Amino acid sequence: MLAKRIIPCLDIKNGRTVKGVNFVNLVDAGDPVVLAKQYAELGADELVFLDISATLEGRKTMLEMVLKVAEQVNIPFTVGGGISSIEDVDALLKCGADKISINSSAVKNPDLINQLSKKFGSQCVVVAIDAKQIDGEWIVHLAGGTIPTKLNLFGWAKEVESRGAGEILFTSMNNDGTKAGFANKALAKLSEELNIPIIASGGAGTKQHFVDTFVKGKADAALAASVFHFGEIPILELKEELKRNNIEVRL
């Protein structure tokens, strides 16, 4: 049985780590390079960096930051935000990123998933899906959760897998920042319908929420931000709690 992964997420805006609730009301959470080094030392399995503003200036900042992070950490890290071409991915990987995450660009140009998977290997390609449950249906949203599409979460996830994505990072917009737990029913359905790993995101507030997303949600990894950034849940304590619940983790 593969070990479950704990992944701190750093949302980056103008070179700083930020955190909000339901994708809005952002507050500063620190220097991403400093945080990355701390997480690597404190037992995180991987890191995710998302450039949530992803302006042209932000892209340059992100490349410089990826270089700095690569010098500081010895665990895999994924970078996303504003990636829309093979050239973008090539530049990030050369700076030291291990994987890339695409979201809006994958919806606008689904063939990009095929291109990146073919060029860099599916293990390098994470497709992030931000979805909101509206009238009982999970609707995919773009541009940091601001633009609803006509895509259904499960249909889009299946297409993403068929095009060569190696992993799906599913964020429930309903749960994001609420600390009320992950969207475990949707996660379990994704896990049952797909053969690639699913990363749960949105809603972590307690250690029990992580236990639940691995047991009830059948997630392969759990991603969180504020509970780690603000020291509410130490990663080592979390892993020990998971171990007590017979969940395989790396200690």
Per-residue pLDDT band at 28 (split at 50, 70, 90): low
Question: Mean pLDDT throughout 31-46?
Answer: 92
- Residue 128 is predicted with a pLDDT of 96
Per-residue pLDDT band at 48 (split at 50, 70, 90): very high
Q: Is residue 205 over pLDDT 50?
A: yes
Active-site choice (45, 51, 88, 130): 130
- Residue 14 is predicted with a pLDDT of 76
Active-site choice (11, 88, 176, 220): 11
Of residues 57 and 199, which shows the higher confidence score?
A: 199
Question: Mean pLDDT throughout 206-227?
Answer: 96
- Residue 31 is predicted with a pLDDT of 85
User: What is d(CA 29, CA 10) in angstroms, rounded to the nearest whole number?
Assistant: 9
Q: Is residue 140 over pLDDT 90?
A: yes
For 80-94, the pLDDT digits (tens) are 988 999 999 999 999
Of residues 29 and 64, which shows the higher confidence score?
A: 64
User: What is d(CA 140, CA 127) in angstroms, rounded to the nearest whole number?
Assistant: 12
Question: Mean pLDDT throughout 168-174?
Answer: 96
Angle of helix 86-94 relative to helix 56-72, nearest 10 degrees, comes to 30
Q: Is residue 145 over pLDDT 60?
A: yes
- Give every CB contact of residue 213 below 8 A, 6+ residues apart in sequence: 181, 182, 184, 187, 200, 219, 222
Give the residue extent of every domain in the chain: 5-244
In the residue annotation, 11 being an active-site residue is answered as yes
The overall average pLDDT reported for the chain is 91
- Residue 27 is predicted with a pLDDT of 64
CATH class as words, domain 5-244 = alpha beta
In the residue annotation, 130 being an active-site residue is answered as yes
